[in-house]
Amino acid sequence: MSELGPYLRRRMLRRRHRLVRIGWAAATYAKRNDSMAGLGIGLGMIALGLLKGNKAAKPIYKTSIDVGQGATIVVKQGKRPITRTAPIGQGN
């Protein structure tokens, strides 16, 4: 059961801003070493990361296809496909 805590913590922090993850590590390290200044800095970094949010740029892909080739567009959420189009541009 003690091995489940770090796994859940990693899963929870993975979706947060980078400052939250760094602040969490700094606060944990400072708590172990009884450093109140370090703990304050870590908690400040966590707060700043939560305020900034995760505004990572979402990539938009652009490509071209040659005459006679076809393409299918697949929309994914994470690794799971949500929807796909019928083949585009084949034949004619």
Express each pLDDT in 54-86 by its tens digit.
Answer: 666 666 777 777 877 878 888 888 889 888 887
pTM comes to: 0.51
> What's 92's DSSP letter?
-
Task: Encode pLDDT of 14-52 as tens digits.
Answer: 778 888 888 988 998 998 999 999 999 999 998 998 888
Q: What amino acid occupies position 44?
A: G
Here the tokens at position 18 are: 């980078």
> What's 81's DSSP letter?
E
